[in-house]
Amino acid sequence: MLAAPFLGVLMLDTCFPRPVGDIGNPETFDRLGIPVRYSTVAGASPQRVVRESDASLIAPFVAAAQALVAQGAVLLSTSCGFLARYQRELQLEVHVPIISSSLLWLVSPLWNDERNRPCLGVLTIDAAALDVRQFHGVGADPFTPVMGVAAGCEFQRQIMANAATLDVAQAERDVVAAALSLLALHPEITTLVLECTNMPPYAQAIRAATGIRVEHIVSLIDLHWKTLP
């Protein structure tokens, strides 16, 4: 008997807490009615992926992706937006759609009608590390406005250090503050894209604070899942 189709998520090797809404929390997808299966890529730490862009990790990510597809995955995603850099390399190795990063929102077919195209901005865990390679990887405009959370804040520090604890309330304040800072610099932005897959738990707070549309990896997965054949 063939396995029921499911979403396969390629996970970084982490131990930090993942509140509901985070891609690594199965309840996130239970609430959306999306069956999910995870595969952790050993040694793929936030440091190696985000700040070092360690290309030696491509092969184990490909192997994990192929294994999930062999098990019945009909859609794949990753748990780090910085893997946008390798969107093309990963997609070439599997025959199902792969969403490497929420940065794919920047090139969504939804925006093909220029009259309805929003003004987009990106919120990231580390603005110093997010560069043209990630934007080019998904074919997006590298001049898209970007804001990172404050260097060394609770959200950034605990996730990048792969710490076992996270002050969720403070993390929310950190992410909301970054969103407000981005809009203060670019009031023309009408849609925020959360690069970091650990930011979706705070999307509602960001919307409440900014009054604008907020998209992220989970909303992109949900959109793709609903349009699968």
Give me the residue spans of the domains in the chain.
6-101+218-226, 103-216
* CATH topology agreement for domains 6-101+218-226 and 103-216: yes
Report pLDDT for 87. Answer: 97
Give every residue of the chain whose pLDDT is below 70, as ranges.
1-2
pLDDT reported for residue 229: 84
The pLDDT assigned to 116 comes to 78
Secondary-structure class of domain 103-216 per CATH:
alpha beta
Query: Domain 6-101+218-226, what architecture?
Result: 3-Layer(aba) Sandwich (3.40)
Q: What is the pTM of this model?
A: 0.96
pLDDT, tens digit, for every residue of 63-98? 999 999 999 999 999 999 999 999 999 999 999 999
Q: What is the pLDDT of residue 46?
A: 96
Cα separation, 146 vs 134, in Å, equals 12
